[in-house]
Amino acid sequence: MSLDPSFVGRTYPPTAPYQVGREKIREFATAIGATDPAHHDLEAAQALGHPDLVAPPTFPVIVTMAASNQIIEDPALGMDYSRVVHGDQRFAYTRPVVAGDELVCTNTIEDVSTRGGHGFLTTRTDVTTVGGEPVVAVWSKIVVRGEA
- Please write the tens of the pLDDT for every residue from 91-103: 999 999 999 999 9
Main-chain dihedrals φ then ψ at residue 144, nearest 5 degrees:
-105, 105
On the CB side of 115, CA atoms within 13 Å amount to: 7
C-alpha 64: how far from its chain's center? 3
Q: With contact defined as beta carbons under 8 Å apart, do 89 and 140 qualify?
A: yes
Mean pLDDT of the chain: 95
pLDDT of residue 147: 81
Looking at residue 98, its pLDDT comes to: 98
The neighbouring-strand residues paired with 37 are none
Whole-number Å distance between alpha carbons of 71 and 69 = 5
Tell whether pTM > 0.85.
yes
Tens of pLDDT along 46-87?
A: 999 999 999 999 999 999 999 999 999 999 998 989 999 999
Spatial distance between the Cα atoms of 14 and 16, rounded to a whole number of angstroms: 7
